[in-house]
Amino acid sequence: MVNLTSDLWEYVEGKETKTKEKVYNWLNKNNLGEIVVDNQVFWIELVCSQSTLPDYILSFIKTWCKARGYTYLYDMPTNY
């Protein structure tokens, strides 16, 4: 398993866009535990149950990870 959290921090540190700045500010509040990757599938772990994951943060992380070839765990098709 791989942790992508530090890579995300490096990506948004420059704050070239308002979205990156919003993500950076959210990260500074210590909400994100880690972004875990296992076999090209990733999921997001928050630091505690009181942490929230706004839709714009989820969307940003999903787009960022997809560009790196990863699939979000909860976007995978299921076979029943």
**pLDDT value at position 16?**
83
Secondary structure string (H, E, C) spanning 36-58: EEECCEEEEEECCCCCCCCHHHH
Contact between 12 and 65 under an 8 Å Cβ cutoff? The reply is no
How far apart, in whole angstroms, are the C-alpha atoms of residue 3 and residue 45? 10
pLDDT at site 77: 84
Q: What is the pLDDT of residue 34?
A: 94
- pLDDT means over runs of 10, the chain (80 residues): 90 87 89 92 90 92 96 88
pTM: 0.87
**Residue 48: per-residue pLDDT:** 85
